[in-house]
Amino acid sequence: MTNVVVVGSQWGDEGKGKIVDWLSERADVVVRFQGGHNAGHTLVIDGTVYKLSLLPSGVVRDGKLGVIGNGVVIDPHALISEMQNMADQGIVIDESRLKIADNATLILSLHRELDAFREDAASNSGTKIGTTRRGIGPAYEDKVGRRAIRVMDLANLETLPAKIDRLLTHHNALRRGLGKPEIVHQVIFDELTSVADRILPFRERVWHLLDRETKKGSRILFEGAQGTLLDIDHGTYPFVTSSNTVAGQAAAGSGLGPGSLGYILGITKAYTTRVGEGPFPTELNDEVGQFLGERGHEFGTVTGRSRRCGWFDSVLVRQAVSTNGIDGIALTKLDVMDGLKEIKICVGYMLDGERIDYLPASQGQQARIEPVYQILEGWNGTTAGARSWADLPAQAVKYVRQVEELIGAPVAMLSTSPERDDTILVHDPFQD
């Protein structure tokens, strides 16, 4: 029996929701270990669509425990709203379904406001990152700056005022510099006390809980948000998210030792998309890119923003395989490419006249790289809804095999539609 870590191997939006839901049926505990409510998963179960952001995917299933780890930054109002939405769909989130790390950082209204102020200023100067303006980055800044308000602080009203004062010393100085009004202490105190009774019943020493579950032999599924190329260290900096999105963060963001992580499953879309600003070597600003976007319904679960679309980039995914230690991939949305006469795969880059096989860390070099393509024949048949290799057109199988060879990792699962049962299982990640 092993644990499984699910990570995105591109810029996010690879279809992790369906795969995590498929795996959660085999898991006992599902842990969200990084990010905030700027990422979302769409689950389709028996025809019902669930849209999750902060809640781990396992909460939609009876008998599964969802855990929000210390690596997540939590907007309490967004979490309460999400739980209410689930209740409206017939799933009541109580303490038997959800635990929240007592040392997780909270996102406050001042974080959302600062995020928006900065993006507005950056838009005027042409340097915007393309954040979701939900306060994720500023909350992580306060965490690293050792001035964050955490879940456990909601339980101690005697020490909370001093923590708020320390936080406001920093934020009001920033707001003065931005020409914005200062925040009054009581506003933040009232904001926190208004949610305390709704959040505190879920708090838990998550590191201890997971250690106990590991010793019991429970299967634990670690659920990441965003994708490897949005990692604060390993992504296309500065056009990245504010946390580490790679598999190693599953340990740091939950409190469980790295030796317990187990199988690393990289979710990989059969083409490439990204949301927001930043480099995208294989982007298609033509009818093929439009075709992929429309056929693939490429709109953000949380933001509704259109995703930029392009050909599969094996260089990026091969790099993600290395930085995550990926054991196998779940290849998604193969069916979106049904009917294309030819399909291109990026197999390298040209940089200043030299061919390279990696994504440079330099922003300037990233802007100058040009993709080198291998061209494959498309397929006329359909892959949509296929549940075995025999159901796939020969050229589709050839494409999958070529992807495996180029990225240096096998396909463990192949998804052929949003429906959870339209999945070809090659290797069960939960097997020893």
Residue 334: pLDDT band (50, 70, 90) is very high
Tell me which DSSP letter residue 133 carries: S
**Mean pLDDT of the residues in the chain:** 93
pLDDT above 80: residue 45 = no
The C-alpha atoms of residue 241 and residue 69 are separated, in whole angstroms, by 17
pLDDT above 80: residue 43 = no
**Mean pLDDT (whole number) for 6-16:** 93
Residue 46: pLDDT band (50, 70, 90) is confident
The closest of 55, 45, 44, 112 to 81, measured between CA atoms, is 55
The C-alpha atoms of residue 26 and residue 28 are separated, in whole angstroms, by 7
What does the pLDDT read at residue 276?
83
What does the pLDDT read at residue 140?
97
Structure-block tokens of residue 111: 């974080």
Q: What is the DSSP string of 242-311?
A: SS--STTHHHHTTT--GGG--EEEEEEESSEEE-SSS--TTB--SHHHHHHHHHTT-B-TTT-PBPEEE-
E strand or H helix at 349: strand 342-351
Helix (H, G, I), strand (E, B) or coil at 128: coil
Q: How far is CA 207 from the centre of its chain?
A: 21
Q: What is the pLDDT of residues 212-241, one digit of tens each?
A: 999 999 999 999 889 999 999 999 999 999
CB 206 within 8 A of CB 15: no
The C-alpha atoms of residue 19 and residue 21 are separated, in whole angstroms, by 5
Q: Which residues of 372-405 are buried (b: 16+ CB within 10 A; e: fewer)?
A: beeebebbeeebeebeeeebbbeebeebbebbbe
Question: Is the whole model's pTM more than 0.75, yes or no?
Answer: yes
Q: What is the pLDDT of residues 244-295, one digit of tens each?
A: 999 999 999 999 999 999 999 999 999 999 988 899 999 999 999 999 999 9
Count Cβ atoms within 10 A of the Cβ of residue 42 and give its class: 0-12 exposed, 13-18 middle, 19 or more buried. middle
What does the pLDDT read at residue 1?
55
Q: What is the pLDDT of residues 173-189, one digit of tens each?
A: 999 999 999 999 999 99
The C-alpha atoms of residue 45 and residue 303 are separated, in whole angstroms, by 22
Q: Which residues are catalytic?
A: 13, 41
Structure-block tokens of residue 333: 């949305």
Q: Which range has the top average pLDDT, 54-63, 190-199, 300-309, 414-423?
A: 190-199
